[in-house]
Chain A
Amino acid sequence: MKNSPSKTSSRKKTSAKVVESATQISTWENDPFSQAVPTDPPTLATPILRPVPQLGSTGPLPITINEPQPAPRQYNSGTPEFRYWTAAEALRRGGDFWARITGLGKWFTSVGRDLSVNLDAGEDFNAFYDRQNLDFFHGSVAGLTVFSGESPDVVCHELGHAVLDALRPQLFNAGFTETAAFHESFGDMSAILSALQLPSMRQDVLLETHGSLSRSSSLSRIAEQLGFAIQKVAPSAVEGDCLRNAANSFFYRDPATLPPTAPASTLSSEPHSFSRIFTGAFLDVLAGLLSVQADGNIPTDGQLLQVSENAARYLVAAVRTAAVVPDYYSQVAAAMVDASDPRDRNAVAGGFVHHGVLSLSAAVTAGSGVARVAAAAPVKPGKEPADLGYISVACAEYGLESDTLLVHATPEPSRLQASGAAFGVGSVPQVGSDKAAKDFVEDLLQLGRIDFGSTKAGVSAFAHPFAHSRRVKTHEIVKEGKDLQLRRLRFDCGFDCGGCCS
């Protein structure tokens, strides 16, 4: 057991246990199936010791569990008492965190003074927030009975709905895909941020990810056990090793162009599915903020704690100011950039640009402190005969040192008449080479694949989750006289493996 007390003599041990029973309980860190490296089948995590939570109604955001409270002790996992204290600890930890960040004292009016919690409201592989209660359930599959209220991830997700409802009640029934999806994303962000309030979790995730927080980890994987159970009954409905993973590469699409349902491997306009874009961007924001804090050094536990608080404050400020509109994602993201400390602004913008939640030009506008240099550059031919000729790509909106960028993209004549299929009817119109080059450059910028060297103007200043390593940069921008040129450095496998590409 993590944080276990050292062995003592039997007499002292008994005496210590009496003290412990009054002050500490045994609980899961963030999920019963949380693992540094997921196995198939998954194994139970190691419980940790935590102080006995005080759920009472005296502090802000009070919570009441409707089941009778067992005496606080270190119960074995699999017992109702263990489940009770695991849920209670997660609820209080999450509630205290959000009360401190938001300054909220009360829940949404219909909830009443206390948020009421039912740890086992019946049979289902799910959990709900309904403006009165948090309801958790149980379900059996493959010889395993899963209690959704036993997972701190699930508990803090549902708690997140209640917190967001208190913060911005207009979102509850706004009737737009993006607002509904943001509610789900806020739940998952609540699970991640609440987990980061545990010292053991911070140490674990720093070890697992080697300080690169955007990697898949026990932090990024949400609700592993519930995901395992759902996968047994609906194999394509969830990720392979959890319910949802914040470490993803989903890129923003207009939800109107997406199908209403899809396997977990692709995006749909279903809110849980669509939420993964924003949560993915948020994890990248956390990763970027941690890089800023660490300033080139190995990040520490204390810095990660500070980053979790800063990110949560920016998020809450953005939720408070962003208009509730159909394109809510970009509104919140821009407001987060705006709310962030100038030192953190590029890291916040970088995370959202990487997932397309903010366009490059929107990110530049949002971070209005970024300077623009408006010197036009003439088109110049390429020198290397092996390359395609240069074309000049207009890039004033990126805020670089020139309004144009020279890119090897003058096309050869077409050999086949072909084009992609449109989402609606017919084909995608053929794209001109100038647009294709612009698209290509924009993709490279969004993916953080360009090395800008010492340039720090416009989008080049955005921090990116992969910015720590030049090895994953595939292109560089160099100055040739008055011109900026895009040059390829290398091809890579695209997985930020840090070693297999050259």
Chain B
Amino acid sequence: MPKKSRAGRGSYAKKTKSKAALQDQRELYKRGVLIRGEAGKRGKDGKLPPGVTHEIVDGDVVRVRYSMF
């Protein structure tokens, strides 16, 4: 059924574009976190450096806490 097929392709294209846009947003967010020095690794005591809100895990940044400032 051609109509259904076209709708399917459109939907797939939209989904793909949306995923790419989401990825862009995430990259932007990650870059901001790194530029501002909000990401760090845990010390031997298991604690994060002061002011750090994200932990670097396998090259990604993972939120561990929210700060007041």
Binding site for B on A (CB under 8 A): 122, 124-131, 148, 154, 157-158, 161, 172-173, 175-177, 180, 183-184, 187, 223, 226, 230, 237-238, 243, 255-256, 260-261, 269-270, 272, 326
Does B35 contact A260, Cβ atoms closer than 8 Å?
yes
Does A126 contact B68, Cβ atoms closer than 8 Å?
yes
Which of chain B's residues have a CB closer than 8 A to the CB of A187? Answer: 66, 68
Which of chain A's residues have a CB closer than 8 A to the CB of B36? Answer: 260-261, 270
Does B30 contact A129, Cβ atoms closer than 8 Å?
no
Tell me the minimal C-beta distance from A234 to chain B in angstroms: 10
- 6 A-B pairs with C-beta separation under 8 A: A127-B67, A128-B65, A148-B68, A175-B25, A260-B32, A270-B32
In the assembled complex, the Cα of A128 lies from the Cα of B26 at a distance in Å of: 23
Which of chain A's residues have a CB closer than 8 A to the CB of B31? Answer: 260
- Closest residue to A136 on the B side, CB-wise? B68
Does B28 contact A256, Cβ atoms closer than 8 Å?
yes
Does A177 contact B66, Cβ atoms closer than 8 Å?
no
| A173-B26 contact in complex given A127-B68, A226-B69, C-beta closer than 8 Å | no
In the assembled complex, the Cα of A287 lies from the Cα of B35 at a distance in Å of: 37
Which of chain A's residues have a CB closer than 8 A to the CB of B69? Answer: 125-126, 226, 230, 237-238, 243, 272
Which of chain B's residues have a CB closer than 8 A to the CB of A184? Answer: 66
In the assembled complex, the Cα of A230 lies from the Cα of B25 at a distance in Å of: 30
For the complex, count residues of B whose C-beta is within 8 A of A.
22
Total contacts A-B at CB 8 Å: 75
| A130-B64 contact in complex given A176-B25, A260-B32, A269-B32, C-beta closer than 8 Å | yes
Cβ-defined partner of A173 (8 Å) among B32, B51, B62, B67? B62
- Closest residue to A128 on the B side, CB-wise? B65
Which of chain B's residues have a CB closer than 8 A to the CB of A270? Answer: 32, 36
Within 8 A of A (CB), among B19-56: 21-22, 25-26, 28-32, 35-36, 50-51, 53
- Closest residue to B51 on the A side, CB-wise? A126
Cβ-defined partner of A124 (8 Å) among B25, B30, B51, B53? B51
In the assembled complex, the Cα of A160 lies from the Cα of B66 at a distance in Å of: 11
In the assembled complex, the Cα of A404 lies from the Cα of B50 at a distance in Å of: 57
- Closest residue to B28 on the A side, CB-wise? A256
Which of chain B's residues have a CB closer than 8 A to the CB of A272? Answer: 69
Which of chain A's residues have a CB closer than 8 A to the CB of B66? Answer: 128-130, 158, 161, 183-184, 187
Tell me the minimal C-beta distance from B27 to chain A in angstroms: 9
